[in-house]
A and B are shown apart, each in its own frame.
Chain A
Amino acid sequence: MNGISGKALAKRILDSTGSSKLTLALLALLGVGVAIDYLSEAHVVWWLTIPLAACACNLVAAIATNGVFRSQLPLLVFHLALLALIVLLAAGQLTHLKGKAEVVEGGTFEGDLVDIEAGPWHINRLKQVRFINEGFSVDYAPGLRRGATRNRLRYLDEDGIGRQMEIGDNQPLVLHGYRFYTSFNKGFAPMFLWHRKGAAQAMTGAVHLPTYPLREYEQARKWTIPDTGSPAWVMLQFDEVVIDPEKADRFKLPKDHTVVLRVGDRRWELRPGESAELPGGRLEYDGLRGWMGYTVFYDWTIPWLLAACLTAVGALGAHFWVKLRAKPW
């Protein structure tokens, strides 16, 4: 008796969980969750996660209990594809990575990101990724409206073969699953050489000044002199118009400039090749380069998500084709 009532209870629960009336309520709940997340400043992932998880449970129960799925294969495939989408989205969220990187022209990306956001199960393999920024150009239309970005990179592919490519808008570098996109963040980077007393070789340091032209009048920042840990302040000074707002132009380095260096209460204005004598060594200003900002994205589920989406839409189309052609328009 208990076994039968247990089975009947389980069936009742499953039927209720798979009810299409519950589907409507859960879809509405998902809509509310999306609206709340959209309107609130703090984006709490649970507004979406809970309704999606509930929808997934409802979907599994519906597929298990509703006879219409057994008689209409395209409808079943569509709903299975939706379920696959939810599972893949969850897997993607747990294993994804987003971040930003900045690499000076002539410099190497060595796996360091800023502004990292990663899922708890992301296995970080960024240290396997290496590329050299060989230079970039950014076009501007009149009115300082950004046009095409072109960035030449040299890298070792996953087979260890040296390659070169040009990335830019809509064209990323993909290495070990990580996708590197050029961003609108780029700017000037005064380069310094720190000649420590008694050292055979100088150490290089680059100061990535705030993005240009977005922060045109804020071309200064604090910096730590390599090897010493000493704080410094660096500002780039130039009078020329680097990007002419009146005509089509390109991002370029100012030809005539000086760099203001402050360490403690001492101040220098340096041109390329000039140095500042500091305790422990000499800091030489080596010249100006550009730096490019990259958006980095990792999500192994992308091709599977696309496959699930296309399967869902194909099945939906097949379902409506069969259903609607039974009666003429």
Chain B
Amino acid sequence: MNELILLWAALVAYVVAGSAAIFAVVWKRRPERFVLLLMVLGLILHTASIVVRWERLGHGPYITMFEILSSNIWSLMLAFAIAYWRLPALRATAAVVMPILFVMMGWILMTNPDEGHLPATYHTVWLFIHIGFGKVFLGATLVALGLAGVILVRPTARGQRWFGHLPASERLDDLAYRCMALGFIFESLMLVSGAIWAQDAWGRYWAWDPLETWAFLTWLVLAIALHARVTYKLSPRVGAVLVVAVFVIAFLTFFGVPFISTSAHKGAV
């Protein structure tokens, strides 16, 4: 019960932080320090929630939908908080990023917090390495998505009002590209570490199971996006559309496929 109370407190802190960030964009206020403090408070509470549950169950948050949502909200919030702190140019992108996290927070409130069974094949350090790389990838992609969202919304009257004071779209596009480059490296590492884990967990390093297939497709779309930038000298708007495409496929891979697939990758059987 304590873990749920801590989680809900964390979600409240996140929602207040996110709402303040959106308020800052819409009403041209700048409570950035307040937003950052609330994000950090939320992260501390959330970390405590995850630790309490881990201690109780004897395993980390990577089995049930509830646990996967919780750990990803944590890692995505951490990634965005770091970017928010270190890159003032992208603070206004919280207006794009936080609603996505709100959706995930709403989702977790509707999922069953009961514990799941830790499959025997999950008792390996490669689990942590694989998941860790995946979280950095998704975090980098989320930050890029925030920048892409601003680029896409900006041409509208409202977008100009909200985001007109930010650096030029070319600069934001460059930042998004850097995040995608970082994401590409870490997604590659995620695939490699996943294959190492799979070899000894299931006796083969790659079997095109649904999760592997979607993860590879995500990597491929990211490779196409990065290649297209170099080949065609894409405009910031087109680059932003590609970022959105990568995020959508990555989101489906992380949060959709594991829960409609019953393959061994889930640890089933």
Contact = CB atoms under 8 A, between A and B. Distances in A.
B120 A316 contact: no
Interface in B91-126: 117, 119-121, 123-124
A274 interface: no
B208 interface: yes
B175 interface: yes
Interface residues of B, number: 41
A329 B220 contact: no
Given A169-B120, A169-B123, A313 B192 contact: yes
Given A34-B213, A141-B117, A302-B199, A20 B227 contact: yes
Contacts of B205: 299, 302, 305
Contacts of B166: none
Interface in B189-237: 189, 192, 195-196, 199-205, 208, 210, 213, 216-217, 220-221, 223-224, 227-228, 230-231
Interface residues of A, number: 49
B269 interface: yes
A147 B216 CA distance: 29
B228 A31 contact: no
A103 B98 CA distance: 56
A181 to B, nearest CB: 4
A114 interface: no
B188 A297 contact: no
Interface in B126-170: none
A317 B189 CA distance: 11
B224 A306 contact: no
Contacts of B178: 324, 329
Interface string A3-33: 0000000000000000011011001101100
Nearest to B192: A309
Nearest to A147: B120
Contacts, number: 100
A181 B220 CA distance: 31
- At the interface, is chain B mostly helix, strand, loop or mixed? helix
A21 B230 CA distance: 10
Nearest to B181: A320
A312 interface: yes
A24 B184 CA distance: 16
A169 to B, nearest CB: 4
A34 B87 contact: no
Contact of A20 (B184, B185, B189, B231): B231
A181 B200 contact: yes
A24 B117 contact: no
B93 to A, nearest CB: 14
Nearest to A23: B227
Contact of A31 (B196, B204, B210, B217): B217
Contacts of A169: 120-121, 123, 201
Given A30-B220, A31-B221, A324-B181, A306 B192 contact: yes
B256 to A, nearest CB: 14
A234 B178 CA distance: 66
A31 B217 CA distance: 6
A317 B188 CA distance: 11
Nearest to B196: A306
A312 B191 CA distance: 12
Contact of A24 (B181, B185, B189, B224): B224
Interface string A297-309: 1010010011001
Contact of A172 (B86, B188, B203, B220): B203
Interface string A211-228: 000100000000000000
A171 B200 CA distance: 6
B185 A184 contact: no
Contacts of B200: 170-172, 181
A316 B188 contact: yes
B217 to A, nearest CB: 6
B81 to A, nearest CB: 16
Contact of B185 (A30, A145, A302, A320): A320
21 contacts: A21-B231, A23-B227, A24-B224, A27-B227, A43-B208, A98-B203, A139-B120, A169-B120, A170-B201, A172-B200, A179-B203, A183-B203, A214-B269, A295-B202, A295-B203, A299-B205, A305-B205, A313-B192, A316-B184, A316-B185, A320-B182
Closest 7 pairs (CB-CB, A-B): A295-B203, A169-B120, A181-B203, A145-B117, A20-B231, A170-B200, A309-B192
